[in-house]
Amino acid sequence: MGVMFLGRAVTGGTVNGDLIPEVPDLARMRQQRSSRLRGSMRERGVDALLLLGTGAVQYAAGAAAPIVDASRATLLRPVALVLADDPEPHLFTPHREAAKERVAADHVHPPLWVELDGQLADIATRLGRLVPGDATLAADEMPYPLRRALGDRVVAEGAPVLSAARLIKTPDELACLRAAQSINEAAMRTVQEALQPGLRQSELTGILLSEAFQLGAAGVAVDAIWQVMPERRSDGPWAFHGDVAYPTPSSDQILREGDVIWVDSGILYEGYASDFGRTWLVGRDPDENQHEHFARWVAVMQAVLDEIRPGATGGDLCRAARKADPLSAAEGGKPWLEQFYLVHGLGLDSAEMPLLGTDLGEEFDDSFVLEPGMTFELEPVIWTEGIGGYRSEDLVVVTDDAWAPLSDYTYAPYEGPGRAETAR
């Protein structure tokens, strides 16, 4: 009762009939994900699903591997195998200890080196033992060594099977996402307090991660961005799409008084990513133009939030955003970045389906129908050549009635209706 978010009353409480728990039940989460995944397999006639992508393996088997860069996550990847008639996933992993309490002991196997050429016969033998020749096999990726190991065996596209399951989050997944977001926000509070002219971008990252690790983060999803924004697009890097160049990776660049920085970061909790985005000023308060930008951003957010409910379409959200900010349209643009989206999903990957407002086009946006359990990271951007821009992000989930916020952070130093006044 009485919970407000960006000046809007939050009504939705349940997601597919369930409340989001305060603390995720990880065992239940794994069971429900397994059941969703196997349901999706049965719908598509897939008997065995081989998963290679980091997010895909986590969906099937939990966050059972260290958090590493793409080279390590690819060459030394754990692999999951899900069988439609077995609720327990098989995990082939070099990280046996990390799989403890996440995967049934008799389903944890030595690694399958699907990215390396050394053990092709081993891959074929061990997969053959679990997946009979007449079973329908699908895989999310198919690197050369795996393809060779499987010989002429037909393998279906596994990505659609997986994305259908992942699109709708279970209550425990939502609790994980909220926990990740909450850790990120608490760490950002410390960073924002420390922010002052003379600090390096990398020092802000150091403060952020120092706090986040102590608060329970398992690792970094995305290198934190503290991009100093220009007032004109042409004062920033050249951009293919003609819009303002964003994001640019951080360095040891020193921040100066009056810099407007677009802050963006993501950490991981039980495999789930947070996504924190705000506009900050270094050592200064916003001027009138900047406040006006924020007011326009709030109006776009409110218009989009007002559309979010089961049955609405992605197109409804994008049209509402455009309509709420005629000034962007007058400048020939839209209130979000040309190269990105108005909305992206958030889960085990820091930007996953749905992506709305992209160059997939209006037809795609209109065909995308909102359902309870979808997560939406909303990231409108207001830009005026000569003044610069305002960008922040918030995370909501589509509930049975409308939506509920999963993020909860002040917009200071900008003044407006403020953040959620939720009592968690």
**What residues between 36 and 75 interact with another protein by CB under 8 A?**
52-55, 66-75
- Compute the distance between CA of residue 270 and CA of residue 268 in angstroms, rounded to an integer: 7
**Closer Cβ to another protein, 145 or 286, answer by number:** 145
Which residues between 97 and 116 bind another protein (CB under 8 A)?
Answer: 97-98, 110-111, 113, 116
- Residue 2 binds to another protein (criterion: CB under 8 A): no
Q: How far is the CB of 2 from another protein (least distance, A)?
A: 35
d(CA 391, CA 335): 10
Handedness of CA 301, 303, 304, 308 (dihedral sign): positive
Nearest of 364, 99, 385 to residue 242 by alpha carbon: 385
Residue placing its CB nearer to another protein in the complex, 139 or 404: 139
Nearer residue to another protein within complex by CB, 140 or 400: 140
- State yes or no: residue 358 binds another protein (CB under 8 A): yes
Report helix, strand or coil for 212: helix
In the bound state with another protein, the residue whose beta carbon lies nearer, of 90 and 419, is: 90
State how far the Cα of 229 lies from the Cα of 342, in Å rounded to an integer: 19
User: Which residues 6+ apart lie within 8 Å of 341 measured at CB?
Assistant: 355, 356, 357, 358, 379
Distance CA 165, CA 422 (A): 30
DSSP 234: G
Please report whether residue 220 would count as binding another protein according to CB under 8 A: yes
Rounded to 5°, the CA angle 297-209-379 comes to: 15
Please state the closest distance from residue 105 (CB atom) to another protein, in A: 14
Instruction: State how far the alpha carbon of 32 is from the alpha carbons of 99, 181, 373, 397, in Å.
Output: 18, 22, 13, 18
Kindly determine how many residues on this chain lie close enough to bind another protein according to the rule CB under 8 A.
Answer: 87
Distance CA 263, CA 399 (A): 28
Report the 10 Å Cβ neighbour count for 43.
11
By CB under 8 A, name the one of 132, 144, 331, 421 that touches another protein.
144
Q: How many Cβ atoms sit within 10 Å of the Cβ of residue 96?
A: 15
State the nearest-atom distance from the C-beta of 356 to another protein, in Å. 10
Interacting positions 120-139 with another protein (CB under 8 A)? 122
Say if CB 270 and CB 347 are below 8 A apart.
Answer: no
User: Which position among 45, 87, 197, 249 is part of the footprint of another protein (CB under 8 A)?
Assistant: 249
Which residue in 21, 247, 283, 416 binds another protein (CB under 8 A)?
Answer: 247
Least separation, in Å, of the C-beta of 298 and another protein?
27
With contacts defined by CB under 8 A, name the span among 215-223, 288-296, 323-331, 385-393 that binds another protein: 215-223
Q: How far is the CB of 188 from another protein (least distance, A)?
A: 14
Residues 6+ apart with CB under 8 A from 37: 49, 59, 60, 82, 161, 162, 165
Least distance to another protein, CB of residue 386, Å: 17
Q: Does 359 bind another protein (CB under 8 A)?
A: yes
Q: Which of 32, 119, 136, 302 binds another protein (CB under 8 A)?
A: 119
CB of 330 to another protein, least distance (A): 25
Q: Site residues for another protein, window 326-355 (CB under 8 A)?
A: 339, 341, 349-350, 355
- Alpha-carbon gap, residue 188 to 226, rounded angstroms: 12
Strands ordered across the beta sheet of 155-157: 108-109, 90-92, 79-83, 48-51, 137-139, 155-157
- Distance separating alpha carbons of residues 176 and 180, to the nearest angstrom: 6
Question: Of 361, 362, 415, 421, which one interacts with another protein (CB under 8 A)?
Answer: 361
Minimum CB separation from another protein for residue 30, in Å?
A: 17
Q: Looking at this protein, which amino acid is placed at residue 190?
A: T
Contact string 150-169 vs another protein (x = CB under 8 A): -------x------------
Q: Shortest gap between Cβ of 73 and another protein (angstroms)?
A: 4
Tokens representing 202 are: 């990398």
Examine residue 224 and tell whether it contacts another protein (CB under 8 A): yes
Among 3, 168, 312, 360, which residue sits at the site for another protein (rule: CB under 8 A)? 360
Task: Select 338 or 408, whichever has its Cβ closest to another protein.
Answer: 338
Check residue 202 for interaction with another protein (CB under 8 A). Answer: yes
Would you count residue 368 as binding another protein (CB under 8 A)? no
Amino acid at 412: A
